[in-house]
């Protein structure tokens, strides 16, 4: 049985993954901002078969509470071996271009809060010499594009941080998974017109569950993004700067 | 972004809306936009278009469609909120599928109080159409087992309603076709079972009189009764078929496994596979599928209740033009004559379907103002869409139903006239007062254009 901490538990993708854990009878500690939504997710997971579901209402940008939250999760579940970091906001690129304050806020939510959590979780797992850390990053972090480079910057920083962390924790037997999600149809992207590249949150959430089970390092979800991003990364900057993607 | 939804559809939007069809895929209707509802605390989308909740799209006609309006896709609102294992009271969000409830409840010894022919419908849809099942003669409709629910209305916010609170709105919402507001969650009472098996019998019967005899005999002793009829048989064999009756099994030593794997009908047929020839061949064979007159077995509940759920997308059998389902009920006094007249009209037209179903409804009145089930005999079958020819036949059936004091089921209808609707559902005026001012559907506009 796993003891799992999920940050951003009301995200559509995390909810799908959490249901899979619950069906396995795992113990879950859920963290999210909105108390009513968090409670409805928790009740559902309890009925799905989770052995234990506990919740904590918290805004992840309150980084000074992270240590306390992780300790609390470990205490009430009687252990902690898996962490899924799934929170995030989709930055409004135009607003960020107009205001550094807005950019800073986006970087705080999508990058710094994640790095703070990772710092504490990594130290905790390193001493235990076991554990799995999975973080939802994004294909947007693979190359900066004019349409959302602030969001991309945050995700790129998270991806690089995770690479280093994976390298550091390898010898301690801790598994670090970077989930590079493509376009996912969730409330976060409700205002977009959806085309053929879009995947459902079920597909991506189930993919995350599988990668945690198989102890993967870096996964693109759905799989075809690995090849799309390979091509995009290979384009020379002289060509790329003229594109409109 | 997020400033509201534009009512003019674009070619792009049209492409993306192709998943939002009804089960019969006739008529076609294109929503201006689709808004996915994820949380019960979300406000209704900001738009000037009319709104309509869309569940799992298992209504056959246009009652789940909103041409040019906005559909609220409810399937992400699918959380179980609470379940009391001692009383069987379940509270869940409206987008939960009946299939999900069975997965949760059956291992704990509970079952749906009322089960339609597919488990792939949402709880919200089951309430909005006040669905019924093979046990109508015992337990009535789905709506009669709803203890309470929360509705989000554009004019009043969240309204809790039940048999004691906002009673009129509660009764309007049961069978209310999604027009009285969005059902956010509902509380339903499940029924206890000993195990997942059904003790069932299939009996071959030679004609309509035999059906009525079997029905009155079986409805006393069996919880579930329904009959398949050969809709092409005429003369002395008119109304012949197979009568299925069953009850939840007593504790068993060996329980049956769920039968067969799920297959999917892969593609749209370029032409309907249902035609006069295939229909005659199938019906003749199916009538003789068992050698003995009576066949008894202990089956898994899935094969007893949901034989068609094993074939995903079976509606593709009918090809791109889709099909029309027809379900009517006729009053008990003249039931024999009316069913005979209906079957004769269908057999003469040499149309109809593989699955034609006959059942006697009980005296269980639903509180729903637009509820379809009522005492009498119900006949359900589908017809490949052959345009005018099919519509004329259904109009002919409507005239028989109307003169027999019957009704046609809105959840399955795509073409009944407004005049007939008003006659079938005399409480529509009372119902109309409870419609949310921002809600509408293709069905409702079609029915009310001439009022």
Q: Which of B36, B79, B80 is closest, CB to CB, to A190?
A: B36
- Nearest residue in chain B measured CA to CA from A16: B76
Q: Is residue B9 part of a domain?
A: no
> Residues B3-10: contacts with CB within 8 Å, 24+ apart?
B3/B46, B4/B45, B4/B46, B4/B47, B4/B48, B5/B32, B5/B33, B5/B35, B5/B45, B5/B46, B5/B47, B5/B49, B5/B70, B6/B32, B6/B33, B7/B32, B7/B33, B7/B47, B7/B48, B7/B49, B7/B68, B8/B32, B9/B33, B9/B68
Q: Nearest CA of chain A to the CA of B2: how many Å?
A: 6
Q: Is residue B222 part of a domain?
A: yes
- Nearest residue in chain A measured CA to CA from B100: A48
Give the ipTM of the model, two decimals please: 0.92
**Which chain B residues touch A190 with a CB distance below 8 Å?**
35-36
- Using the predicted structure, report yes or no on whether residue A93 has a pLDDT greater than 70: yes
Residues B176 and B116 in one domain: yes
pLDDT at B18: 65
Q: What is the DSSP string of B306-362?
A: -GGGGEETGGGGG-TT-EEEEEEEE-GGGHHHHHHHHHHHHHHHT---S--EEEEE-
Give the C-alpha separation, A169 to A164, whole Å.
Answer: 9
Q: Does residue A230 belong to the interface with chain B, where contact is any CB pair within 8 Å?
A: no
pLDDT at B316: 87
Q: Does residue A231 belong to the interface with chain B, where contact is any CB pair within 8 Å?
A: no
- Nearest residue in chain A measured CA to CA from B42: A37
Q: Nearest CA of chain A to the CA of B184: how many Å?
A: 12
- Nearest residue in chain A measured CA to CA from B37: A187
- Nearest residue in chain B measured CA to CA from A200: B76
pLDDT at B266: 78
Overall number of domains in chain A: 1
Q: Nearest CA of chain A to the CA of B83: how many Å?
A: 8
Q: Does residue A35 belong to the interface with chain B, where contact is any CB pair within 8 Å?
A: no
Q: Nearest CA of chain B to the CA of A196: how many Å?
A: 9
pLDDT at A196: 79
Structural domain for A121, as ranges = 3-240
Name the residue among B303, B121, B286 with its Cα closest to residue B200. B303
Contact B83 A47 (CB under 8 A): yes
Rounded to an integer, the average pLDDT of A179-202 is 86
Residues B206 and B312 in one domain: yes
Q: Is residue A245 part of a domain?
A: no
Q: Nearest CA of chain A to the CA of B281: how many Å?
A: 42
pLDDT at B129: 98
Residues B233 and B366 in one domain: yes
Q: Nearest CA of chain A to the CA of B174: how many Å?
A: 24
Residues B236 and B311 in one domain: yes
Per-residue pLDDT of chain B (451 residues; tens, 9 = 90+): 333 444 444 333 444 566 788 999 889 898 998 999 999 999 999 999 999 999 999 999 999 999 999 999 999 999 999 999 999 999 999 999 999 999 999 999 999 999 999 999 999 999 999 999 999 999 999 999 999 999 999 999 999 999 999 999 999 999 999 999 999 999 999 999 999 999 999 999 999 999 999 999 999 999 999 999 999 899 999 999 999 999 999 998 888 888 767 788 877 777 777 777 888 888 888 898 888 899 999 999 999 999 888 888 888 888 888 899 999 999 999 999 999 999 999 999 888 778 899 999 999 999 999 999 999 999 999 898 989 999 999 999 999 999 999 999 999 999 999 999 999 999 999 999 999 999 999 999 999 986 5
**Which chain B residues touch A185 with a CB distance below 8 Å?**
36
**Which helix (H) or strand (E) covers residue A138, if one does?**
strand A132-138
**Interacting residues of B61 by C-beta distance below 8 A, sequence separation 6+:** B22, B24, B26, B27, B324, B325, B410, B411, B412, B413, B414, B415, B443
Give the C-alpha separation, B394 to B53, whole Å.
Answer: 28
CATH number at residue A109: 3.40.50.720
Contact B80 A48 (CB under 8 A): yes
Give the C-alpha separation, A179 to A159, whole Å.
Answer: 9
Rounded to an integer, the average pLDDT of A13-34 is 98
Structural domain for B379, as ranges = 197-420
pLDDT at B98: 98
Q: Which of A34, A43, A195 is closest, CB to CB, to B79?
A: A43
Name the residue among B371, B439, B368 with its Cα closest to residue B156. B439
Residues B183 and B308 in one domain: no
CATH number at residue B135: 3.30.465.10
Q: Is residue B95 part of a domain?
A: yes
Give the C-alpha separation, A91 to B168, whole Å.
Answer: 45
Q: Is residue B7 part of a domain?
A: no
Rounded to an integer, the average pLDDT of A202-231 is 97
DSSP type of residue A65: G
CATH number at residue B261: 3.30.70.2520
Q: Nearest CA of chain B to the CA of A44: how many Å?
A: 5
Contact A193 B12 (CB under 8 A): yes
Contact A44 B12 (CB under 8 A): no
**Which chain B residues touch A12 with a CB distance below 8 Å?**
38, 76
Contact B41 A37 (CB under 8 A): yes
Q: Is residue A184 part of a domain?
A: yes
**Which chain A residues touch B81 with a CB distance below 8 Å?**
40, 43-44
Contact B39 A194 (CB under 8 A): no
Which of B6, B79, B110 to mutate to test binding with chain A, by most A CBs within 10 Å of its CB? B79
Contact A44 B16 (CB under 8 A): no
Rounded to an integer, the average pLDDT of A122-147 is 96
**Interacting residues of A136 by C-beta distance below 8 A, sequence separation 6+:** A8, A11, A13, A14, A84, A85, A86, A88, A179, A181, A208
Residues B327 and B378 in one domain: yes
Q: Does residue A64 belong to the interface with chain B, where contact is any CB pair within 8 Å?
A: no
* Whether the Cβ atoms of residue B271 and residue B317 lie closer than 8 Å to each other: no
**Interacting residues of A239 by C-beta distance below 8 A, sequence separation 6+:** none
- Nearest residue in chain B measured CA to CA from A38: B39
Residues B189 and B202 in one domain: no
Q: Nearest CA of chain B to the CA of A214: how many Å?
A: 27
Contact A187 B12 (CB under 8 A): no
Residues B318 and B385 in one domain: yes
**Interacting residues of B86 by C-beta distance below 8 A, sequence separation 6+:** none
**Which chain B residues touch A48 with a CB distance below 8 Å?**
80, 104
Q: Nearest CA of chain B to the CA of A236: how many Å?
A: 32
pLDDT at B16: 54
3-state SS record for B75-94: CCCCCEEEEECCCCEEEEEC
pLDDT at A54: 98
Q: Which of A40, A185, A195 is closest, CB to CB, to B81?
A: A40
Query: What token pair was written down for B48?
Result: 């000037």
Distances in Å between the alpha carbon of B203 and those of B226, B246, B291? 11, 11, 11
Q: Is residue B383 part of a domain?
A: yes
Contact B80 A43 (CB under 8 A): yes
Q: Which residues, numbered 138 to 197 in chain A, qualify as contacts with chain B under a Cβ-Cβ cut-off of 8 Å?
A: 185, 187, 190-191, 193-195
**Which helix (H) or strand (E) covers residue B208, if one does?**
helix B208-221
* Whether the Cβ atoms of residue B173 and residue B181 lie closer than 8 Å to each other: yes
Residues B351 and B371 in one domain: yes
Contact A40 B36 (CB under 8 A): no
Contact A12 B81 (CB under 8 A): no
Overall number of domains in chain B: 2
Contact A191 B83 (CB under 8 A): no
Residues B205 and B123 in one domain: no
Residues B169 and B295 in one domain: no
φ/ψ region of A234 (left if φ > 0, alpha if ψ in -120 to 50, else beta) reads alpha
Query: What token pair was written down for A165?
Result: 């962390």
Distances in Å between the alpha carbon of B183 and those of A46, A169, B38, B218? 23, 49, 13, 36
* Whether the Cβ atoms of residue A87 and residue A60 lie closer than 8 Å to each other: yes
**Dihedrals phi, psi of B193, to nearest 5 degrees:** -135, 160
Residues B327 and B217 in one domain: yes
- Nearest residue in chain B measured CA to CA from A23: B104
Q: Does residue A202 belong to the interface with chain B, where contact is any CB pair within 8 Å?
A: no
- Nearest residue in chain B measured CA to CA from A43: B81
């Amino acid at each position: 049985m796993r003891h799992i901490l999920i940050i951003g538990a009301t995200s559509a993708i995390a909810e799908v993954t959490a249901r899979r854990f619950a069906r396995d009878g795992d113990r879950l500690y859920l963290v999210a901002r909105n108390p009513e939504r968090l409670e409805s997710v928790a009740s559902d997971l309890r009925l799905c078969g989770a052995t234990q579901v506990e919740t904590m209402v918290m805004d992840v940008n309150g980084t000074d509470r992270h240590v306390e939250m992780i300790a609390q999760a470990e205490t009430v579940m009687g252990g902690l071996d898996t962490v899924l970091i799934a929170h995030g906001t989709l930055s409004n690129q135009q607003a960020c271009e107009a205001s550094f304050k807005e950019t800073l806020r986006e970087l705080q939510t999508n990058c710094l809060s994640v790095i703070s959590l990772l710092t504490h979780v990594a130290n905790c797992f390193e001493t235990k010499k076991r554990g799995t850390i999975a973080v939802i990053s994004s294909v947007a972090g693979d190359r900066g594009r004019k349409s959302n480079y602030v969001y991309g910057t945050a995700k790129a920083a998270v991806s690089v941080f995770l690479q280093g962390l994976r390298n550091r924790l390898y010898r301690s037997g801790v598994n670090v998974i970077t989930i590079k999600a493509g376009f996912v149809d969730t409330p976060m992207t409700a205002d977009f017109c959806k085309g053929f590249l879009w995947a459902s949150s079920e597909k991506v959430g189930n993919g995350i569950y599988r990668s945690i089970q198989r102890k993967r390092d870096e996964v693109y979800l759905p799989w075809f993004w690995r090849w799309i991003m390979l091509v995009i990364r290979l384009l020379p900057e002289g060509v790329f700067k003229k594109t409109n993607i | 972004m997020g400033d509201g939804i534009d009512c003019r559809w674009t070619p792009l939007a049209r492409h993306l809306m192709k998943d939002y069809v009804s089960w019969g895929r006739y008529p076609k209707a294109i929503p201006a936009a689709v808004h996915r509802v994820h949380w019960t605390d979300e406000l209704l989308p900001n738009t000037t278009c009319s709104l309509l909740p869309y569940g799992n799209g298992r209504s056959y006609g246009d009652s789940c469609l909103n041409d040019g309006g906005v559909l609220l896709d409810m399937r992400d609102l699918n959380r179980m909120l609470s379940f009391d294992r001692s009383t069987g009271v379940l509270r869940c969000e409206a987008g939960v599928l009946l299939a999900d409830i069975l997965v949760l409840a059956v291992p704990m010894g509970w079952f749906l109080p009322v089960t339609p022919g597919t488990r792939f419908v949402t709880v919200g849809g089951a309430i909005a159409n006040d669905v019924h099942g093979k046990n109508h003669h015992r337990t009535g409709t789905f709506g009669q087992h709803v203890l309470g629910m929360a509705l989000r209305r554009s004019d009043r916010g969240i309204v809790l309603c039940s048999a004691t609170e906002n009673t009129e709105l509660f009764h309007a919402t049961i069978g209310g076709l999604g027009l009285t507001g969005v059902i956010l969650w509902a509380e339903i009472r499940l029924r206890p079972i000993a195990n997942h098996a059904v003790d069932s019998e299939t009996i071959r019967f030679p004609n309509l009189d035999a059906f009525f005899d079997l029905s009155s005999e079986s409805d006393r002793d069996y919880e579930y009764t329904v009959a398949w009829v050969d809709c092409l048989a005429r003369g002395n064999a008119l109304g012949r078929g197979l009568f299925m009756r069953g009850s939840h099994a007593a504790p068993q030593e060996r329980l049956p496994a769920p039968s067969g794997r799920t297959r999917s009908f892969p593609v749209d047929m370029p032409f309907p596979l249902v035609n006069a020839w295939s229909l005659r061949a199938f019906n003749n064979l199916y009538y003789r599928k068992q050698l003995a007159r009576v066949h008894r077995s202990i089956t898994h509940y899935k094969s007893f209740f949901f034989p068609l759920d094993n074939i995903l997308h079976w509606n593709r059998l009918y090809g791109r033009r889709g099909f029309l389902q027809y379900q009517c009920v006729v009053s008990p006094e003249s039931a024999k004559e009316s069913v005979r007249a209906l079957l004769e009209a269908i057999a003469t037209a040499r149309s109809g379907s593989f699955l034609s179903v006959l059942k006697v409804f009980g005296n269980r009145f639903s509180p729903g103002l637009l509820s379809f089930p009522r005492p009498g005999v119900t006949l359900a079958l589908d017809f490949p869409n052959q345009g005018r020819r099919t519509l004329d036949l259904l109009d002919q059936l409507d005239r028989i139903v109307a003169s027999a004091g019957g009704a046609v089921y809105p959840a399955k209808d795509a073409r009944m006239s407004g005049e007939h609707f008003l006659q079938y559902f005399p409480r529509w005026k009372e119902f109309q007062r409870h419609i949310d001012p921002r809600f509408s559907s293709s069905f409702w506009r079609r029915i009310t254009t001439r009022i």
